[in-house]
Homo-oligomer: A and B are copies of this chain.
Amino acid sequence: MTVHFSRGIPPLEAIPSLAIAELTGTILSTEPDRVFQYAPIGHHTGDRELRDQLGAFHSVDPDRIFVTNGSLQALDLLAAHLLKDAPSHLVLAEAPTYDRAVQIFERHGGRVSGVPLRHDGLDLDILRERLRTEVPAFVYVIPDFQNPSGVTTSEEKRREIVRLSAEFGFTILEDIPYRELRFDGTAPTLLGELADGVDGARVLTMGSLSKILSPGLRVGYVIAPPGVPRALAALAESTYLSPAPLLQTVAARAFESGLVRQNIEAVRKLLRPRHDAAVEVVRKVLGDVALCVPEGGYYISVHLPVRTTEEELLAAASAESIALTRGSAFYPADSAPPAGTVFLRLPFQSLGGEEFTAGVTGLAAVARQAG
């Protein structure tokens, strides 16, 4: 049996399918006409009811919210919006970072450059040095339980990144799909919230329902300064018109009925033991190679010291029925894992403790042969 360390999708038991189906049924029986017609158009930023619910969830004005088809589509629209007339097309991202985001930024003409990620967030000495040379169009960060590393950016570093945004005049793009899935400790403040207190700081925050309710609904959103939601809506309207009204209404009712809150608690309870087992076995079997002990989310990651290439290591693992994602793919083109190591993302959200342990034990044996 293959152990899959390759998939970042929620386990089925983390999606409250029956409850969502029930909410959907109620909508279908009471307002079928509205949900199968076009959504109202005219720079439409999303279903009113859903924006109200998202506003309440994040304690922000609903007019600052823009709803889209999943958060990847939000990244695509934001990249178009932020890079279109930018004086610089430089984009700074954590190294490692979410690989699809890099692809999107590059497709919109971005020149993506990596700033090393430490156990508590971006290396700020290196970031400051980079800012002296060129002010980027934006800096992309995933501050909570980052994909792929599991790293959470510390409160202190968040404050400093927001301060730098004001000092140098760049935008911060903050991506928070995993934020609600915290198993330990207290959540640091959102960068978007910190920016409210810093004159000149500019943060756009992207969220998603994929990890806290359902990926199949394809509901993502942006929290942005006034004016930006309507600009994004104009761009969306000439790209795909609007997200499906039915799915937006289902999402709104899932917030309203308390289902989202309940499910967040259920997913935390489901994943916490998997997380604990994963952290323990990585430490015990692989040693002190983890980037950090993740406080939530889906991922623990390691810089594994090996003498072979990444390709050889993955092939050897595959021969032992261990499926891994190519870790170097998470690094922007100008950056790489520390010399002599291979970067591995180990998602624990879908693996029972025994399966994860078996996988890591097998991986250790493969690494010994390669080390």
**Chain A interface (Cβ < 8 Å from any Cβ of B):** 9-10, 12, 15, 17-18, 20-21, 24-25, 28-29, 32-33, 35-39, 69-70, 72-73, 76, 100, 103-104, 107, 210, 214-218, 238-247
Q: What residues of B have a CB within 8 angstroms of the CB of A240 in the complex?
A: 69-70, 72-73, 76, 218, 240
Task: Please indicate the chain B residues that have their CB under 8 angstroms from the CB of A17 in the complex.
Answer: 32-33, 35-36
**Contact between A217 and B36, CB atoms less than 8 A apart:** yes
Give the contacting residue for A18; candidates B32, B39, B210, B214; CB below 8 A: B32
Residue from A20, A217, A238 having most chain B Cβ neighbours under 10 A: A238
**A103 contacts across to B, CB distance below 8 A:** 238
CB-CB < 8 A to A15: which residues of B?
33, 36-37
Residue of B36, B210, B239, B246 touching A72 (CB-CB under 8 A): B239
Chain B residues whose C-beta falls within 8 Å of the C-beta of A25 in the assembled complex: 25, 28
Bound CA span A29–B39, Å: 26
A-B contact pairs, 25 of them (CB 8 A): A10-B37, A12-B33, A15-B33, A17-B32, A17-B36, A20-B36, A21-B29, A24-B28, A25-B25, A25-B28, A35-B216, A36-B214, A36-B215, A36-B216, A37-B215, A37-B216, A38-B216, A73-B240, A104-B239, A216-B244, A216-B246, A217-B244, A218-B241, A244-B247, A246-B247
Q: Are A215 and B246 touching (Cβ within 8 A)?
A: no
What is the CA–CA distance of A280 and B10 in the complex, to the nearest angstrom? 59
Q: How far is the CA of A243 from the CA of B38 in the complex (A)?
A: 16
Most chain B CB within 10 A, of A36, A69, A244, A246, is at: A36
- The 7 nearest A-B residue pairs measured at CB: A17-B32, A21-B28, A36-B216, A73-B240, A36-B214, A21-B32, A38-B215
